[in-house]
């Protein structure tokens, strides 16, 4: 069964797989690593323009390691999951310090780098170094859950352990790079979350979910839980020059290391809060429409408030801050809600 599965998948990949992705053209280790990090939780079509722009700015691991984190995050802005960008930068520094700037061709060493887990390390070993190793990303989990009718949510330890056993057993000793890309492609283009195209699937004849006509049952759903709501107020403080105040967020937590507007609670009296916390005397010009934004573990409702600063008496530092024109701020690493507000303001 194992050999038949991989043979059928490889034959399908030859004629139907994706062969023109940017990172496939020059599959050197850095390119593969960068693409695998960007593809975590993000679809290929979204990744491609970010990948091209990022690689143009940071064509080598050394240049990435030497870059300022603000520069790195500005080229990551909009892609989301910003810890990936910070980890990529940290890992590049470690690679330069410990491995002379070359991504190590050793799985145990790869796993010591920030942001690289078991599946990402397996993908790098298979795609970049052509070494026998298995992967288990979201697409592969879906294919295996359906093919073997594996019950349960893949995030559960027992289910994940079973899927790793299957993934490792199916991965062939030869043509491992093509097989790895093939099973990812199958999940991304044929064995999709909804409306899988079983009629063109190369392994449909042995797929247990198809035989049971229960494709929608697999993989099992993540147990539902209430998604908390976080409400906040963005303070768009404008000085006499028409510049807006930005502050850099802490390295950890939501939007870590990115530039954002100062924030306060919806329960605060904005003008009093500003005077007490910053020393700014300001008047409200306009309250803008509430922005709804979804993050991994919670959802946000953001009220942007545009204020004009009248006086700056006894100004109190609130971390790293900078005044700049709204258009210039787009060059910084800013989260999506901030970027959208800036684009609206510049129209």
Q: Which of 14, 36, 238, 247 is catalytic?
A: 36
143 within 8 A of 168, measured Cβ to Cβ? no
Q: Is 109 exposed, middle or buried (0-12, 13-18, 19+ CB in 10 A)?
A: middle
Global pTM reads 0.79
Per-chain mean pLDDT for the chain: 91
Cis peptide before 188 (omega within 30 of 0): no
What is the end-to-end Cα distance of the chain in Å, rounded?
60
What percent of the chain has a predicted confidence (pLDDT) above 90?
Answer: 68
d(CA 216, CA 146): 9
Phi, psi values for residue 27, rounded to 5°: -75, 50
Mean pLDDT of 329-337: 84
Question: Among 17-21, 81-85, 102-106, 342-346, which stretch is predicted with the lowest mean pLDDT?
Answer: 342-346
* CA angle at 168 for the pair 163 and 172, rounded to the nearest 5°: 135
User: Does residue 313 register a pLDDT over 60?
Assistant: no
- For residue 279, what pLDDT band results from cuts at 50, 70 and 90? confident
101 within 8 A of 60, measured Cβ to Cβ? yes
Q: What is the pLDDT of residue 11?
A: 96
d(CA 289, CA 303): 7
Please report which residue ranges of 26-172 form alpha helices under DSSP H.
29-38, 44-57, 61-66, 69-76, 83-99, 107-110, 118-127, 138-147, 157-170
Q: What is the pLDDT of residue 64?
A: 98
Comparing CA positions, the residue from 119, 126, 166 lying closest to residue 146 is 166
Domains and CATH numbers, the chain: 2-217 (1.10.340.30), 229-346 (3.90.79.10)
d(CA 17, CA 182): 6
HSE, side-chain direction, 13 A CA sphere, residue 198 = 18
194 within 8 A of 118, measured Cβ to Cβ? no
Higher pLDDT, 321 or 14: 14
Q: Which two tokens stand for residue 280?
A: 């700014």
Question: Among 96-110, 127-141, 174-188, 221-235, which stretch is predicted with the lowest mean pLDDT?
Answer: 221-235
244-276 pLDDT per residue, tens:
999 988 888 888 888 999 999 998 888 888 888
d(CA 191, CA 183): 10
User: Does residue 231 register a pLDDT over 80?
Assistant: yes
d(CA 33, CA 60): 12
What percent of the chain has a predicted confidence (pLDDT) above 70?
Answer: 96
281-290 pLDDT per residue, tens:
888 888 999 9
Q: What is the DSSP letter of 267?
A: T
Catalytic residue status for 26: no
Q: Is 157 exposed, middle or buried (0-12, 13-18, 19+ CB in 10 A)?
A: exposed
């Amino acid at each position: 069964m194992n050999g038949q599965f991989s043979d059928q998948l490889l034959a399908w990949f030859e004629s139907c797989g994706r062969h023109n992705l940017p990172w496939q053209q020059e599959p050197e280790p850095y390119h593969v690593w960068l693409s695998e990090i960007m593809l975590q939780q993000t679809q290929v079509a979204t990744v491609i323009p970010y990948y091209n722009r990022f690689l143009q700015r940071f064509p080598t691991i050394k240049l990435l390691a030497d870059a300022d984190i603000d520069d790195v995050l500005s080229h990551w802005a909009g892609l989301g999951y910003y810890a990936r960008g910070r980890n990529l930068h940290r890992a590049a520094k470690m690679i330069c310090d410990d491995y002379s700037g070359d991504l190590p061709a050793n799985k145990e060493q790869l796993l010591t780098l920030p942001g690289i887990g078991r599946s990402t390390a397996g993908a790098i070993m298979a795609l970049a170094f052509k070494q026998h190793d298995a992967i288990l990303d979201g697409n592969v989990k879906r294919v295996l859950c359906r093919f073997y009718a594996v019950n349960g949510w893949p995030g559960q330890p027992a289910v994940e352990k079973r899927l790793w056993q299957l993934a490792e057993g199916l991965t062939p000793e030869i043509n491992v790079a093509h097989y790895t890309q093939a099973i990812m492609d199958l999940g991304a283009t044929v064995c999709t979350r909804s409306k899988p195209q079983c009629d063109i699937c190369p392994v449909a004849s042995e797929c247990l979910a198809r035989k049971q006509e229960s494709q929608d049952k697999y993989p099992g759903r993540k147990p539902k839980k209430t998604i908390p709501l976080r409400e906040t107020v963005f303070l768009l403080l404008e000085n006499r020059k028409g510049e807006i105040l930005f502050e850099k967020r802490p390295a950890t937590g939501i939007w870590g290391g990115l530039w954002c507007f100062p924030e306060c609670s919806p329960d605060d009296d904005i003008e009093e809060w500003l005077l007490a916390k910053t020393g700014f005397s300001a008047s409200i010009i306009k309250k803008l429409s509430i922005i709804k934004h979804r993050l991994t573990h919670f959802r946000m409702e953001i009220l942007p408030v545009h204020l004009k600063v009248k006086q700056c008496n006894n100004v109190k530092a609130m971390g790293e801050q900078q005044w700049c024109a709204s258009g210039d701020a787009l060059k910084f690493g800013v989260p999506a809600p901030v970027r959208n507000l800036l684009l609206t303001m510049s129209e």
